[in-house]
Amino acid sequence: MLANLKYTFVSLYALVMLGRRTDDVRNVFLIGNAQDNLAEPARASGKLRDPFRNPGLERMWQERYCPPRYDVNELMALSPATLGGAYARHMVRRGLRPDFYDDVRARHRLHYLRLRVRQTHDIWHVLTGFDTDPVGELGLQAFYFGQFTNGQSVMILAGGILKCLFAGRYTELEHFVDVFCEGYHNGRAAHCLLDVRWEQLWNEPAAGLRQRFGIAATKWRAPDAPAMLPS
């Protein structure tokens, strides 16, 4: 019980801090870690939809699968139509690094899944079509929620809704709700992507991978949303 209160407090504190410092991605990490610590006992006892019933994901956990380091500049040599080529151009265009996230040991299954999701975050951006602007980031969080139950996605949505309400930005509020609904629907409709070893598919055409895994690219193009979520 005390542990649950602690993780709930950490989640709320990080959400408030995220609202104040939207460029500080550490607060997103705090929310995710705290929510996963809350959810792991529920997963283990069968009280929530368990993504590790997927044999491929369970196998990745047992192996503690972690892809070897790769060089984005080398991937730039691939055709832009391939997953690796499209991903490399996405990273270079936005000045992003694949080694941005800390390399830490997973504490339990949901923590491992969170680390894997962080590793592949920008690969999912490329495949889903959600941009790295605030609304696009929320859309990708919703896609995650469609793939597996996780408190981080819902807390970030709630934070965005409250911020818009308190500021009286109702058009932006509609944007956030619309893109969350689309992302959630697309995530639920797609095949399970959690056990896909994307780094072994760099040479595959991105369009073919979308078709193979049932990934609908977003139709959303936000005109002007506030800087609320980090990329």
Comparing 42-51, 109-118, 140-149, 158-167, the range with the smallest average pLDDT is 158-167
Burial class (CB in 10 A: 0-12, 13-18, 19+), 10: middle
Q: Is the pLDDT of residue 162 over 60?
A: yes
What ranges in the chain are assigned the alpha helix state H? Answer: 2-20, 26-44, 55-63, 72-75, 83-94, 109-119, 121-128, 134-147, 151-167, 170-189, 206-213
pLDDT of residue 22: 66
Judge whether 186 lies within some domain. yes
Judge whether 117 lies within some domain. yes
pLDDT (average), residues 171-194? 94
Instruction: Classify the C-alpha dihedral 21-100-210-192 as positive or negative.
Output: negative
Residue 82 sits at φ, ψ, to 5 deg, of -85, 165
pLDDT (average), residues 171-188? 93
pLDDT of residue 29: 83
> Which of 126 and 171 is assigned the larger pLDDT?
126
Number of structural domains (the chain) is 1
Judge whether 116 lies within some domain. yes
DSSP code of 216? P
Judge whether 135 lies within some domain. yes
Q: Is the pLDDT of residue 102 over 70?
A: no
Q: What is the pLDDT of residues 64-100, one digit of tens each?
A: 999 998 999 999 999 999 999 999 999 999 999 887 6
pLDDT of residue 84: 98
Q: How far is CA 191 from the centre of its chain?
A: 16
Alpha-carbon distance of 6 to 10, in angstroms, equals 6
CB 15 within 8 A of CB 153: no
Alpha-carbon distance of 62 to 17, in angstroms, equals 35
Judge whether 31 lies within some domain. no
Q: Is the pLDDT of residue 229 over 80?
A: no
Comparing 18-22, 179-183, 215-219, the range with the smallest average pLDDT is 18-22
pLDDT of residue 120: 96
Number of neighbouring beta carbons within 10 Å of residue 201: 17
Average pLDDT score over the chain = 89
Q: What is the pLDDT of residues 40-59, one digit of tens each?
A: 999 999 999 999 999 999 99
Where residue 18 falls among pLDDT bands split at 50, 70, 90? confident
Judge whether 183 lies within some domain. yes
Where residue 203 falls among pLDDT bands split at 50, 70, 90? very high
Q: Which domain holds residue 205?
A: 51-213
Judge whether 4 lies within some domain. no
Judge whether 3 lies within some domain. no
pTM > 0.85: yes
